Amino acid sequence: MRSFQNKIFYWFTPTLYVHCWGGLGSQLFALAVVEQVLIEKPNRRVALVLHTSGVTQRTSELSSLAQFVKIVQVSDFKSDEFSPNSARKVGLKSYIRKFALFVLSKLRFIINHEDIEKMKPWTFQLRSHYSRRFISPYVCMSMFNRLVGIKLLEKSSKDVEIVLGIHYRLGDLLTLENKNFISPERLLAAIDELISQNKLDDFLIKIHSDSPEVANQKLSALRDDFVVELSESNPWGTLSALVQHDYLVVTNSKIGIWAIVFKVRLRLPHIVLAPCDMKPDLALILGEDIKFLRIEYY
């Protein structure tokens, strides 16, 4: 039971709305913020706001969490939001909105960055992608256990056979002009190096991707020498599988980051190969725990 003072704080302090843009990986980073607030400030009311807007239209992957935190879904995707002509549509309303956000940020009513330690009792919005900040082991374990409890993630268990899992992020990267996917040549060279260094023999390769047929075609050379299985699953099934593979090769994606983070926090056996530009993010997210990470960068 809450004390009278805690009840007063609960009812007269505004709900903290944690805003999120992006797919499952980004939504998990927002969920980590929600978990931290619930742990450190149990008397705060918290809501998770999931936006559909962005470069591509996003969907909520966390609706099942509505039983423990309020979920608000905002349909604000506009197909021409990032088109060349969209920059010309900036008018007076946009400038007024930006000025209002600036003032509210200065007064800490809205926090526009990852440093939630600066949150005040009157703060009512957190707006960011939350991916470049430390996530404590306790918060990570609380998240994982909650997600397993509502059956979004499967409890980690070792693969019956030796499996080398590959997560090849493609999706909208295939069409966006300002972003690139990792070339199949670079990825294949890294996979060959991993297999050689660890003297792998008699194992299965599983390819996971948000564009499975394209990934299968781009990595078709693997089928000349190895047994390859194309895994087609939803984002939750993909993340569950990645966490369980002893050998894992990831490309630039937040799902890949989460697979690594859960492996480290759960102390699961792992040898990971990741793109070199992922290293700074992992260092921020894991802190000192990065020393438990058996990882090579390509």
pLDDT for position 128? 81
| CB-based contacts of 27, cutoff 8 Å, min separation 6 | 20, 50, 60, 61, 62
Give the three-state DSSP class for 193.
Answer: helix
pLDDT for position 137? 92
Domains and CATH numbers, the chain: 4-133 (no CATH), 163-297 (3.40.50)
**Encoding tokens for residue 119?**
């949150």
Distance CA 262, CA 148 (A): 12
pLDDT for position 42? 86
pLDDT for position 43? 85
pLDDT for position 113? 66
CB 126 within 8 A of CB 19: yes
Give the pLDDT band (50/70/90) at residue 179.
confident
Task: Return the percentage of the chain with pLDDT > 70, whole number.
Answer: 88
Distance CA 57, CA 52 (A): 5
pLDDT digits (tens, 9 = 90+) for 196-208: 999 988 899 999 9
Average pLDDT over residues 72-99: 68
pLDDT for position 82? 47
Instruction: Give helix 137-149 / helix 254-265 axis angle, nearest 10°.
Output: 100
Distance CA 63, CA 109 (A): 26
Task: Report the run of H or E that residue 73 belongs to, with start and end.
Answer: strand 70-74
Distance CA 208, CA 168 (A): 6
pLDDT for position 158? 62
Question: What pTM, to 2 d.p., does this model score?
Answer: 0.87
Task: Return the percentage of the chain with pLDDT > 90, whole number.
Answer: 52
Distance CA 45, CA 124 (A): 10
Most confident of 5-9, 62-66, 209-213: 209-213
